[in-house]
Structure 1
Amino acid sequence: MLKGRTIRGFLICLAVTAAVVLVYAAGALDSLEWRSIDLRFQARGARPANPDIVVVSIDEHSIDRLGRWPWPRETHAKLIDRLSAAGAKAIAFDVLFTEPDSANPKSDAALAASAGKAGNVVSAFFYRGGMDANLLGKDPLFPLPALAKESFVGFVNFNPDPDGVCRHGHLYSIYGNNVYPSLPVAALAMSRKKTFEELLPELPVTVDKDPLVAHNELFINYQPQTDRTGYEIIPFADVVEGKIPDKTFKDKIVLVGGTAAALFDVKATPYTPIFYGVLIHANIIDNLISGNYLKPGSGAFTILYILVVGLILGAVLPRLGPWQKLVVLVAVAGAATGVSFWMFSAKNRIVPLVAPLLATVGCYGAETFYRLLIEEREKRKIKGSFRQYLSPKIIDVITKDPTKLALGGVERDVSIFFLDIAGFTTMAEALKPTQLVEVMNQCLTEFSRIILRHDGLINKYIGDCIMAFWNAPADQPNHAAQACLAALDCIKALPDLNRRFQEKGLPRIDCRVGINTGTVVVGNMGSLERFDYTVMGDPVNLASRLEGANKQYQTRIMISEATFELAREAIEARDLDLIRVKGKREPRKVFEVLCAKGEMSEELSEGRKRFHTALALYRQKRFDEAIDTFQSVFDYLPNDHVTRVYLERARAFTSHPPPPAWDGVYEFATK
């Protein structure tokens, strides 16, 4: 049995892994992977920037000093003269000089003359139609002919990913019969006194040399720009006014570009949604010089990685218990995350993260779900091993009136009681069959005695669950109160049961109870040969749902409003919630039974009072006040999980308010 289950679990994990591979191959995970790479950037933080790259910024300070933008071309000519005299190796303008200076056409000649005299100027051009997948440029906007003749040219187009973030930089483009470098490549070539063709073999990445860079796209290894880290940025005005010493630019690559807000030259990068375009060029040059560009794994490597993760999980998970599986899930997910972050920070390698994590969680979830189905089947087998208890009152009724054994039933108001042993799944895996039988027998025996002591009829045992009801076949005016008091006594019996289990090395148990009161059909139902005295109707289903709903709040006894109204003189309870169980339209008000009447402590009483005050504020959509009041509940009930549930809901509603028609109802998505 275990071997077959293990094989089926392995096949399930293999199927999940194959599905993840298909999803990855279809590109459906790309945006999530990009976001995970951005997180790796942010986690890594700053690294030293290349000091041989300097940025001259067209900033607000310079515009204030030199006048309204655009400036006369003579101003840029002065900058070239100043930088050339200081010994700059290359001067690259991330500024388009594509149209004549309408105010002073002669200034264009001055700019071209200064560029020619310097001999190391790179002018920018721009593809208005962008570039296609084959790097073919469309509709270029070249510099003025005179300037283009006296300088090297490079394009300044960026190609953001679909989410708008610039993560890649093209090294070259094609237009007509010519190959044009990007501005960073042109600047690097100029600094080495080479043409683009001469520089190409020296680049750390080319299409021919490095298959990690698809279509000659450089995956930029960004350096964040802060007050303490990044590239040296100097105001344009300070340079042309001679305030900056020559050594600042000596043997440096100087990039000239806009940082003033009015110039709108900003892009989104992994670090920030606002990053100056000229700094992106600086990062690309830095990557080209150092070779520290990012190197993504190939698609084949990623698929192999996913398959290895899936195969390992398929071999391991089916053999483990639930807690062990959870440990493996955390370990594998943590290892995948740690490796991806370490390879990114230490090796400049992009190891895929999202797809392996999806495979890990998917295998865990699918195999666990499959295991739960198997456990449910085993629970049904265990249920058949318990004989049904019969209330003495039923025996009396049948003895007096044998006709009640006839098939059929009558409508009657009853209180239906469902008790379930919490943690049964874990216990079933952890114990030997004989130990499990011992625990079940002791629990069901104790709880059954309590139910019978409160004149309940034990209808059936459903594995680890007891179904009972009151007010049939005999009349019981206080049936709702008796059901609630029986539930409280079951809870009171837990410490003694657990003490006995602990003495034998058996696990502790807990239980949950759901009680509902309503009109049902009660009587003998089945065939002539085999029948049960039972109840049928929607109130039965609701009682079962209330038992399961305890998990949401970590409560032990949940009752319906109908039960509360009939039992309120015998119990202390608190308003728990307005819920809509799955498959039902009408919301139900539910209560948590706290104790029998007269047994409430001062702390519990004050805690309940504050909770009800907070709940009223919550239902009035006064969430901030509700949060404060819910917090005060912990002064009296420090471990109250119900309060924590409402705090989470209220905090969520402060960020995302409910719709105007919100009625305070919580809808259960599952049974």
Structure 2
Amino acid sequence: MLGVALVATLVAWACEHGTPFLKQVEPVAYDRALSTYLGERKESSRVVVVAIDQLTLDGISENEQLRINFGNWPYTRTLWARIAQELKAAGAKAVLFDAVMDERASDESADLGFAQVLRETDLPFYVGMVTSGTATPLPRADFQAPVPVALPDTASPTPEDTFAEDAAEEFKDGPATATPTLTRAALARALAFPVSRTDGKALPALEYVSSQGTPQPRHPVPPTHALVGAVNGFGLVDTEADEDGVMRRTRFAYTDGINTYVTLPVRLMADLLGAKEVTLSGGTLRLGERTWQVNPDDGSAALDYGGPLHKRYPMVSLIKVLNDWIHRSHGEAVKLPADTFRGKVVVIGGTTPGINDIKATPFSSTEPGVAKQAAVVDTLLSGEFITRAHWSVDLGITFLAALLSAVLLMTARWTPLEVVWPLGLVFGLHLVTGLALKTSHTHVLTAMPSLAGIGASVAALAFNHLTANRETEFIRQAFSRFMEPKLVAQMIRSRQLPRLDGENKEITAFFSDIRGFSTFSEHFKEDPRQLVRILNTYLTTVSGALLREGGCLDKYIGDAVVCLFGAPMDQEDHAIRACRGALAAKAAVEALRVDFRQKGFPDVYTRIGVNSAVNFVGNFGSDQLFSYTAIGDGMNLAARLEGANKAYGSVIMIGPRTYALAKEHIEVRELDRVRVAGKTEAVTVYELLALKGQLAPELQRTVAHYHEALALFRQARFADAAAVLEAEAARGLEDGPTGKLMERCREYLETPPENFDGVANLEK
């Protein structure tokens, strides 16, 4: 089983790292787990999405005045100035604009007017930037220098735009003058952001693969200069999609080999947290005093989207924000609730296919790209990213899945299980992945363990079918001599085949022995064949009683019989069966003793020890001879109990575990508390008297008096105990334990014991 599991694990590991199959399957499994277990999050209270939706496109294009002032998509910067004014008035905490402004407007005054509004409102506003393989590299940024501010040299009178809806409205644009220009060093300082990685690993590179198949660097495309210094910061908004085109993760920071750049949400959060630098150390991302767990290898992390965009975040159409600005400008009441934006981060982005910003996420193949920015911002504000489990965890789960499959199918060998297990395994691993995502935001692989488990299952089934007939015949031949044939057939039919290589299991062991067998055998030293016939008769009698109760004959040691209950066939009632077998053997031997006395044979008085415990059972022996047996402390105690009957005058002595398992079905007498040789802990031993309800009244009285005397004995009141036992003995009922305890009381009266604790030492 270990071999099958190990081979299946190695094959799955090789497929994970050497073939594209699992790399295609794993993302699908991850997406399913993510949507199932992390897809019902409540609506965020920290982030609001202002959607450039179809309602906005239609509303502006159908309104002549709006179309004149703002044009068609992409709208003039004047529109964003009005939106910034309204969001500031509505109490927004900061604005993340999921788009780029890297081209000058045809009317340069629009750029300058937008920049002027941002300075006047002092609203934290962050704009995206993209990278390109054709962009000119910027020089190394000097982070000691202040962020440059691009200001026009002169100003001109403010032009007025008119807007007719119910009344005219003035649009106050910025100064109509030439857009200022900045040096490339100034641009580098404005766009780059300090990032350090203290674990010695490199930051992800901004690069692309050329037509020749070689990696080439990409560099930022600078925004229009008028916005530098007016916008609070710029961040990367390049698509970070996996090989299948799905946006599942982000990497926070990149380098083009010259400068370091951060993604747009990180740039926004750096200011909100007062961080002057982004630090990646091992598996930790740090901004100011806040940290988040990330993947230690490349500093990436998967996104906890929490559900589709429209369910996860409050969605406000851009046209509604613009209309509120118009109402507020007229002195009219705004339509949106007062707390819509107050104290929240606003993410502006396109949500309609007309904007051409539709991407794939684990929740939808047509999700707006702004969903990623909103998810990152929301997690940075208050949440956890999803990180990959350590490779050792994945490998361990893979091996456990393979081992469980091999063990289960190679031991159970049940056809319905063989059919259902592969499906159950995949579902179980899906559940494990989902629970890991839900409880610890950790991504545990599903595909690799599934492949290993299914591979091990196939190997186990092949092994089962190749060896089933041979093993069944071996079991039949091996156990038919030691168990009832019908039990062997039942064991094979129910596929409860024993593990011949050994296993730990709780069983009940039976030991019996003839009192004074050496003296017994001396009577036949002139006729050994008669001894063999008598001994065979005795062993057959005892064995038959045990086999009828479902026992498995372990061995004969001269006149001693060793029998196991609960192995090789599982028996939940093994202790009860052993007790019934012991009483049946005692009754059969009593009848045999009567027959032997009539024939003039020696007595075969038999003592029995029964004990239940976890023992190691299986095939033991040498290459020349081996047999199915059990070893362990439980077997040793059963043998000791059989011999201890002599000291207590009892016939059947049982251990504490046997009593605990069978006490509802048997009548016993508590004999004593004993300490086994080599052990420090004392255990209570009992004499098995009868099955429940079958104890004779006279014997019940004797047992009651014995228990009374035993309690006095343990209190070292030996004279009182002896008096109780003598009164019972005077009744004339012969009882071995009563006589033995009375002898001990008299002995201790004559020679008081030292450090008496009421426990007898049970020597070998």
TM-score (norm 2): 0.45
Deviations 1:345-377 (A, max 9, x none): 333222222211211111111121133233577
Indicate the residue corresponding to 1:59 in structure 2.
Answer: 53
Q: Distance in 2 between matches of 1:77 and 1:368?
A: 70
Contact 2:29 2:430 in 1 (8 A): no
Indicate the residue corresponding to 1:34 in structure 2.
Answer: 27
2:318 is aligned with what amino acid? F
Deviates more, 1:348-357 or 1:189-198: 189-198
Q: Distance in 2 between matches of 1:110 and 1:128?
A: 28
Q: Distance in 2 between matches of 1:63 and 1:432?
A: 72
Indicate the residue corresponding to 1:155 in structure 2.
Answer: 236
1:253 is aligned with what amino acid? V
**1:40-51 mapped onto 2 (5 Å cutoff):** 40-44=33-37, 45-51=39-45
2:117 is aligned with what amino acid? S
Contact 2:205 2:257 in 1 (8 A): no
Q: 1:195 to 1:246 in 2, by over 3 A?
A: farther
| Matching of residue 342 in structure 1 with residue 414 in structure 2 | no
Contact 1:57 1:233 in 2 (8 A): yes
Contact 2:294 2:385 in 1 (8 A): no
**1:73-88 mapped onto 2 (5 Å cutoff):** 73-88=77-92
Q: 1:112 to 1:365 in 2, by over 3 A?
A: same
Q: 1:237 to 1:335 in 2, by over 3 A?
A: closer
Q: Distance in 2 between matches of 1:86 and 1:126?
A: 30
Q: Distance in 2 between matches of 1:266 and 1:431?
A: 57
Pick one of 282, 289, 300 that aligns with 1:217: 300
Q: 1:169 to 1:211 in 2, by over 3 A?
A: closer
**1:266-665 mapped onto 2 (5 Å cutoff):** 266-323=358-415, 326=418, 332-375=425-468
* Secondary structure of 1:36 counterpart: helix
Indicate the residue corresponding to 2:318 in structure 1.
Answer: 236
Q: Distance in 1 between matches of 2:270 and 2:204?
A: 23
Deviations 1:276-319 (A, max 9, x none): 11121001111222232212212222112212333344444433
* Secondary structure of 1:257 counterpart: strand
Deviations 1:551-600 (A, max 9, x none): xxxxxxxxxxxxxxxxxxxxxxxxxxxxxxxxxxxxxxxxxxxxxxxxxx
1:309 is aligned with what amino acid? A
Q: 1:85 to 1:197 in 2, by over 3 A?
A: farther
> Max radius of gyration: which structure?
2
Structure 1, unaligned stretches of length 5 or more?
Answer: 1-8, 382-425, 434-671
Percent identity over paired residues = 24
Q: Distance in 2 between matches of 1:322 and 1:130?
A: 65
1:23 is aligned with what amino acid? C
Q: 1:338 to 1:63 in 2, by over 3 A?
A: closer
Contact 2:130 2:221 in 1 (8 A): yes
Deviations 1:420-464 (A, max 9, x none): xxxxxx99865899xxxxxxxxxxxxxxxxxxxxxxxxxxxxxxx
Q: Distance in 2 between matches of 1:204 and 1:49?
A: 24
Shift of 1:160: 1.0
Shift of 1:92: 1.4
Shift of 1:50: 2.2
Contact 2:235 2:267 in 1 (8 A): yes
Q: Distance in 2 between matches of 1:329 and 1:260?
A: 42
Shift of 1:125: 0.3
| Matching of residue 204 in structure 1 with residue 196 in structure 2 | no
Contact 1:296 1:351 in 2 (8 A): yes
Q: 1:224 to 1:121 in 2, by over 3 A?
A: same
| Matching of residue 122 in structure 1 with residue 96 in structure 2 | no
Shift of 1:240: 2.3
Contact 1:14 1:314 in 2 (8 A): no
Q: Distance in 1 between matches of 2:312 and 2:496?
A: 63
Shift of 1:322: 3.3
Indicate the residue corresponding to 1:563 in structure 2.
Answer: none
Indicate the residue corresponding to 1:591 in structure 2.
Answer: none
Q: 1:114 to 1:174 in 2, by over 3 A?
A: farther
Shift of 1:183: 1.1
Q: Distance in 1 between matches of 2:134 and 2:250?
A: 13
1:232 is aligned with what amino acid? P
Q: 1:333 to 1:262 in 2, by over 3 A?
A: closer
Pick one of 102, 107, 110 that aligns with 1:107: 110
| Matching of residue 249 in structure 1 with residue 341 in structure 2 | yes
Shift of 1:129: 4.1
TM-score (norm 1): 0.51
Q: Distance in 2 between matches of 1:305 and 1:143?
A: 49
Indicate the residue corresponding to 2:271 in structure 1.
Answer: 190
Q: Distance in 2 between matches of 1:27 and 1:167?
A: 21
* Secondary structure of 1:65 counterpart: helix
Shift of 1:175: 3.4
2:316 is aligned with what amino acid? I
1:52 is aligned with what amino acid? R
Deviates more, 1:20-29 or 1:348-357: 20-29
* Secondary structure of 1:91 counterpart: strand
Indicate the residue corresponding to 1:420 in structure 2.
Answer: none
2:222 is aligned with what amino acid? F
Q: Distance in 2 between matches of 1:432 and 1:26?
A: 41
Q: 1:111 to 1:431 in 2, by over 3 A?
A: closer
Indicate the residue corresponding to 2:750 in structure 1.
Answer: none
Q: 1:83 to 1:431 in 2, by over 3 A?
A: closer
Deviations 1:600-634 (A, max 9, x none): xxxxxxxxxxxxxxxxxxxxxxxxxxxxxxxxxxx
Q: Distance in 2 between matches of 1:27 and 1:299?
A: 17
Indicate the residue corresponding to 1:169 in structure 2.
Answer: 250
Shift of 1:108: 0.7
1:273 is aligned with what amino acid? S
Shift of 1:211: 5.5
Pick one of 211, 217, 222 that aligns with 1:142: 222
Structure 2, unaligned stretches of length 5 or more?
Answer: 61-66, 136-201, 208-217, 280-285, 325-333, 475-489, 498-764
Q: Distance in 2 between matches of 1:92 and 1:211?
A: 23
Deviations 1:139-188 (A, max 9, x none): 32221122133220011012211111110012122235432221111222
Contact 1:181 1:196 in 2 (8 A): no
Shift of 1:42: 2.6
Query: More helix by proportion, 1 or 2?
Result: 1
Q: 1:79 to 1:357 in 2, by over 3 A?
A: same
Q: Distance in 2 between matches of 1:80 and 1:176?
A: 35
Shift of 1:333: 4.4
Shift of 1:335: 3.3
Deviations 1:489-523 (A, max 9, x none): xxxxxxxxxxxxxxxxxxxxxxxxxxxxxxxxxxx
